[in-house]
Amino acid sequence: MNDDAAQVDFDVVTGAFGYIGRYIAGLLLDQGRAVRTLTGHPQRPSPFGAAVTAVPFHFADPVLLAASLRGATTLYNTYWVRFERGPVTFARAVENTKVLVQAAQRAGVRRMVHISITNPSADSVLPYFRGKAVVERLIVASGLSYALVRPTVVFGGDDILINNIAWLLRRSPVFAIPGRGDYRMQPVFVEDLARIAVWAGQQSRDLVMDAVGPEVFRFDELVRLIAQAVRSRARLVQVPPATALAVARAIGWLMGDVLLTQDELTGLMNDLLLSAGPPTGTTSLRNWLARNAGRLGWRYASEVQRHFRG
């Protein structure tokens, strides 16, 4: 990376070839911003062609990582792990993010927008939510101007959760509802999340805000809504959470993936994917399903394929 390139004003989006990062990068490009991405898969084809330059994560080399950020105005960080796999752990994700924050400090990045999760807690028994809280504390203590954006379940485009519920409903005569199904969630549209993140990046004050949609659903209500949209005749059956998790693990094994984790199920059943504040997204999941049902759930969306394979 030459010195001239390092001085150009640009924004950095981690994971711009992935899911959430792709929508953030696209919106920034639409606004005329230059964009660079830090990615674990720099060899993947860019959905933006030559418009976005790709640089590998250099977590093992903080000096090189800082060089890749030098000249950046805003760092939009989507880096995290959904579940542990081999050497990829929540503890490693926290440590890597710490290195990234320190590199941003060293590089003189003006502002950091971090994609977190609703209701993170350093006291949580769930490693996913606890790790998110630890990362938030690192960013707040860094001295960087920051925005912590906390989404719930993200839908739209090639999301995993809504698509894979539809995939199961299209193929199985029975769908297992963990427990009573009366726990709630507040899904946010991926394009709304990107808009919120980019808006937050353009502010000057420190922000902590939820990114949540306008609708709250009981889980069983959401599954019925998806079933209706894809014209599924699957019977919804309430089963003990442990049974539902065992079924999910079996399906994940068959697909070479992780369909549902214990953290995700516990967080969902404890209403952690719900905001106490007003909606910040505007897109109705109900209306989106009506418009997109014809293409939803025909193919399984694999987290392992997306994040762990080149």
pTM over 0.75: yes
Domain with 230 in it: what CATH number?
Answer: 3.90.25
pLDDT for 275 beyond 60: yes
Q: Work out the mean pLDDT of the chain and round it to a whole number.
A: 94
Domain that holds residue 77: 3-151
Residue 208: how many other CB atoms lie within 10 Å = 14
Share of the chain above pLDDT 90, in %: 89
**143/28 same-domain check:** yes
**120/171 same-domain check:** no
**92/176 same-domain check:** no
**275/135 same-domain check:** no
Mean pLDDT of 69-97: 94
| DSSP-based three-state secondary structure for 12 | strand
Question: Looking at the domain assignment, is residue 130 inside a domain?
Answer: yes
| pLDDT-derived band at 25, boundaries 50, 70, 90 | very high
Rounded (10°) CA dihedral 19, 21, 23, 29: -150
| pLDDT-derived band at 83, boundaries 50, 70, 90 | confident
pLDDT for 7 beyond 50: no
pLDDT for 80 beyond 70: yes
CA atoms lying within 13 Å on the CB side of residue 259? 20
| pLDDT-derived band at 3, boundaries 50, 70, 90 | very low
Domains in the chain, number: 2
Mean pLDDT of 172-177: 96
Domain with 92 in it: what CATH number?
Answer: 3.40.50.720
pLDDT for 86 beyond 90: no
pLDDT for 193 beyond 70: yes
Residue type, 210: D
Nearest C-alpha neighbor of 155 from the set 142, 166, 168: 166
